[in-house]
Structure 1
């Protein structure tokens, strides 16, 4: 085990939050997800696999939540018919496939996977199926996401503090933008080494590339597309909060800044994601405006829709050279993407993943055994039909959950649920377009656990308060975060 300097800092902060209020542990847990290329330590015994800072800090977050609430609220997240039950089923299926299927089909089929070699760059190659370090690492990531969901569920359920979650989303958005600015400044000043402390993962780091004359922003992530995927989730959540008039003076500028960073990342996946997220937010805002609270900004959105084509026509007429440059830029990063070497390579990955799904008769080759360039094919080629079905049920239960009637009057909570769902839609969109591995990142499970906690009815608590208001108040006091 080779510890990196940022890994030492992670341990120090983790030990510190064990003696701080539980809010601090949750805050640092969310902030750590912005460090997508920072390995706390690397594992030579597993081919140089990297354990990222968020996954390392999850251990301390788990310890702090258990110290504050015990295991009961965490385990309650997985009780049927909650969304967590389907996540439990998915995780169990994934672990079983990681252990059994690589040995069942060993040598009988070929899979596209990552071949790691210590001291050399890892490559993606088509090899006969065998049990490998990827089965172990992806199984650990699956357990981490599973635990993160339950821990966030317990934290949100026991604190009932949606305002703090809004604050944390704004903080992590600012941290992400800060690394984006630092990435651009260090690139043009030749001081990229200043960011090496957050670029310690044993990945191929594509942090110095340009496209269409723009520096591709990668921030604290290994490449621009990973930065764009993460930023799109934050944009969707903060834009949703702004549309619901939650801290508009902060969520509005934050959403605008994240949108600019998305465009400057020049990621085709980000642009495709925006094509899904923006209409989703638009339709949801219109529905919200027609509701009892009338929180949507329909006048602004309708005005923007009317002005956009006029502005585009004016630019084309008055600045033809600029319009031609924009056209070439979009053609390079989007329209001709499928004909590029990267596009053809990703189509080859998907074809190989689908063939793996067929060769295993729908069982999959085992969690971590195969790569693809679409999350649907990742699921089918790794965990088969059974695991894919469990994942679909988990997502459907999460996105289909609604606020209980007892909480419908809490506008901020309802807005936060809508924002978290918008973030999930954004994350799923980019993953379905270009996801390569089973792990969706801890941000996905933080949002999913928060949704499950905020939408689950508090019937027992409400009845107890009505029957014994004084006693219930005392219990709430005793159960408050320490």
Structure 2
């Protein structure tokens, strides 16, 4: 076991945030999700990321309150999203131990972790237990805790507003890490980022596509950076479309989209097209139902004009159109012919074979590696796990007809768009069932309904040091009905 410097920073930050209150803990937890290349603890071959370590402080800061604890337990009731996620986690944990032993030697896998078998020239081994059968269930249980706690916190009176603030700060921090990555690479000072690139992963921080260096930010590779940036871009872009803090969310969405495109990731480029198409479709629908929705109307009118201007510029500048086509061709059109594309196709072929050879039960959570989320779910946890996962997603994206539009409902809509963006990236290059803590933060935000609660939270520091009476939160009036033009406010 090795306790890393970034782990010490995480613990110190957690203790300080506890003193400043629950809101500070939640904001810090969301921001720490940026550090996808860091390891706070090294346990043999396993990496404990700072955000997973910070989960302890999140639980202390929120579960201390009886009412929030009650909301956490309620999130596991049928048919709440937490119930289906709990079923997926339980089946995943059981499958990680039972299935690799039950079907041992009956098929070949691309191992996600280390195996006792020798790897063949094709990069496969006979099915059997691997080291990631231990780490992946822990990650999935962490996702379950994250989802339930964040959903409960967001369902308090001021919680969902704090979550929106935290996710906006996350988007800004992600952009800052991208800028720092570009600057350190340009100046040859990449060593300055080694303290947050200490995880035992294979890093792709020196790769290029043509003359462009791949941008990885605080992640191990460009596809991970582009995928996570897609989520924050979708969230801030939808908030801008709703007219919420447009002077902040608009620039953040635009810069995030630019980083996704320039990251040289095929996942990011395809996901960017999906994101822009999704936001434009939503804007069209909103224009048909909200007469005074100026941001949606602006996007509907300005979108085609901007696209035409960009096409004319590309055609008028010598060689620009050819460079754009070569860029798209390298990342998307000819991706299947590259060594990376061939390798990922082989992973998916073995994953499908694992699903068939296991009679639809899967080979166990964390056993094999894929390059597509649907195949990762089917090959790891089989049909039972896929059913639980689909029911979880269906309950997250469910909405109530005729519900009044409020600030909270706009935040939920933005979180659903972010989830769709992350899922789009996972469809293209998702290696495991675990989608990461950020996905479950967005999913929990999409399920947070403070309108159903009448809870006002006391500061966590008061609850920790004050008398027992200070722990009980006071009742407050329900969220007030917004004004007619609330959607245009900031």
1:442 deviates by 0.4
Q: Deviations over 1:367-402 (max 9, x none)?
A: 011111101000111000010011011101111233
Tell whether the 8 Å contact from 1:285 to 1:296 is kept in structure 2 after alignment: no
1:303 deviates by 2.7
Corresponding residue for residue 261 of structure 2: 263
- Distance between the aligned counterparts of 1:210 and 1:409, measured in 2? 46
1:248 pairs with 2:243: no
Q: Deviations over 1:83-109 (max 9, x none)?
A: 111111111111111121111112222
- Relative distance call for 1:248 and 1:77 in structure 2 (3 A) is same
Tell whether the 8 Å contact from 1:65 to 1:151 is kept in structure 2 after alignment: yes
Corresponding residue for residue 389 of structure 2: 391
Tell whether the 8 Å contact from 1:22 to 1:68 is kept in structure 2 after alignment: no
Corresponding residue for residue 438 of structure 2: 443
Tell whether the 8 Å contact from 2:362 to 2:382 is kept in structure 1 after alignment: yes
- Relative distance call for 1:250 and 1:309 in structure 2 (3 A) is closer
Calculate the aligned-residue CA RMSD, in Å.
Answer: 2.3
Corresponding residue for residue 415 of structure 1: 410
1:12 deviates by 1.6
1:323 pairs with 2:321: yes
**Number of equivalenced pairs:** 456
Corresponding residue for residue 356 of structure 2: 358
Tell whether the 8 Å contact from 1:420 to 1:447 is kept in structure 2 after alignment: yes
TM score, norm. by length of structure 2: 0.88
What aligned pairs does 1:172-183 form with structure 2 within 5 A after superposition?
Answer: 172-183=170-181
- Distance between the aligned counterparts of 2:206 and 2:418, measured in 1? 28
- Distance between the aligned counterparts of 2:451 and 2:474, measured in 1? 20
1:434 pairs with 2:429: yes
- Distance between the aligned counterparts of 1:179 and 1:82, measured in 2? 36
Corresponding residue for residue 55 of structure 1: 52
Secondary structure of 2:83's partner?
Answer: helix
Secondary structure of 2:128's partner?
Answer: coil
Corresponding residue for residue 481 of structure 2: none
- Relative distance call for 1:334 and 1:235 in structure 2 (3 A) is same
- Distance between the aligned counterparts of 2:439 and 2:305, measured in 1? 35
Corresponding residue for residue 288 of structure 2: 290
Corresponding residue for residue 24 of structure 1: 24
Tell whether the 8 Å contact from 2:37 to 2:198 is kept in structure 1 after alignment: yes
1:300 deviates by 2.1
Corresponding residue for residue 64 of structure 1: 61
Secondary structure of 1:290's partner?
Answer: helix
- Distance between the aligned counterparts of 2:113 and 2:123, measured in 1? 7
- Distance between the aligned counterparts of 1:276 and 1:224, measured in 2? 18
Secondary structure of 2:474's partner?
Answer: helix
Q: Deviations over 1:143-166 (max 9, x none)?
A: 000010100011111244433222
Secondary structure of 1:42's partner?
Answer: strand
- Distance between the aligned counterparts of 1:149 and 1:403, measured in 2? 24
- Relative distance call for 1:359 and 1:250 in structure 2 (3 A) is same
Corresponding residue for residue 4 of structure 2: 4
- Distance between the aligned counterparts of 1:321 and 1:130, measured in 2? 53
1:302 deviates by 2.9
Corresponding residue for residue 88 of structure 1: 86
- Distance between the aligned counterparts of 2:316 and 2:70, measured in 1? 65
Corresponding residue for residue 347 of structure 2: 349
What aligned pairs does 1:273-288 form with structure 2 within 5 A after superposition?
Answer: 273-288=271-286
- Distance between the aligned counterparts of 1:300 and 1:418, measured in 2? 19
1:164 pairs with 2:162: yes
2:109 pairs with one of 103, 108, 111: 111
1:286 deviates by 2.1
Tell whether the 8 Å contact from 1:244 to 1:296 is kept in structure 2 after alignment: no
Unpaired segments ≥5 residues, structure 2 = 116-120, 456-470, 478-490
- Distance between the aligned counterparts of 1:163 and 1:232, measured in 2? 21
Tell whether the 8 Å contact from 2:153 to 2:160 is kept in structure 1 after alignment: no
- Distance between the aligned counterparts of 2:428 and 2:386, measured in 1? 16
- Relative distance call for 1:275 and 1:239 in structure 2 (3 A) is same
Q: Deviations over 1:287-333 (max 9, x none)?
A: 22333474363432233343245324422442131221222222222
- Distance between the aligned counterparts of 1:241 and 1:400, measured in 2? 19
Tell whether the 8 Å contact from 2:160 to 2:445 is kept in structure 1 after alignment: no
1:129 deviates by 1.6
Tell whether the 8 Å contact from 1:115 to 1:125 is kept in structure 2 after alignment: no
- Relative distance call for 1:296 and 1:81 in structure 2 (3 A) is farther
Secondary structure of 1:181's partner?
Answer: helix
- Distance between the aligned counterparts of 2:243 and 2:215, measured in 1? 29
TM score, norm. by length of structure 1: 0.90
1:336 pairs with 2:334: yes
